[in-house]
Amino acid sequence: MEEELVSTLFPEFTESEGYINPRSPFAYTRYFRESLPYLMAMGMSPDEFWDGDPDLALAYRQMWELKQESEFQLRNEYAWIHNMYTYATMLKVAPMFSSFADKNTHPGEYMDKPFDFFGDESTESEEESMERQRRTAQAKMQQWVTNFDQKFSDK
């Protein structure tokens, strides 16, 4: 009768029954063996897992969660930038599809350079800078000539 009592209190691990006694050493072994591949995927070596500090597993898990969060944020920013370009393109094409547009309406030109998110003017080449300065000087000179002509034509 004592044998039955002992066997019911501490049954051996049988996977077919699906019951694991928490006092059995097999319960912890199974848990550790199932946890190892997940922690290895997070970057933990088997030596660190089996022989290292138990708090390392928690640190690897927290590091992995932070990495996943930062990667998600990066992918989210890429998607946002992609949609900015799509939106800008749709704005260029939208006048063509208006019911009030004339027959000669054409889509605007596609951007010749990317958006400047950081305000860095060094992306502008020297030729572009010189051309912009030349156009500005030409517009100022044209305005001056127009003002000069108006000044003397009134007299």
Residue 58 predicted with pLDDT over 70: yes
Whether residue 60 contacts residue 44, with contact meaning beta carbons closer than 8 Å, is answered with yes
Helices (H), the chain: 2-9, 25-41, 46-51, 55-93, 126-153
Question: Once rounded to an integer, what is the mean pLDDT over residues 126-152?
Answer: 86
Query: Residue 110's closest CA among 88, 83, 129, 125?
Result: 88
Question: What is the average pLDDT score of the chain?
Answer: 80
- For the whole model, what pTM was predicted? 0.49
Q: Percent of the chain having pLDDT more than 90?
A: 28
What are the pLDDT digits (tens) for 98-136? Answer: 777 787 888 888 888 888 777 765 656 778 888 889 999
Question: Once rounded to an integer, what is the mean pLDDT over residues 31-51?
Answer: 88
Number of residues assigned to the chain: 155
Least confident stretch, 9-18, 70-79, 89-98: 9-18
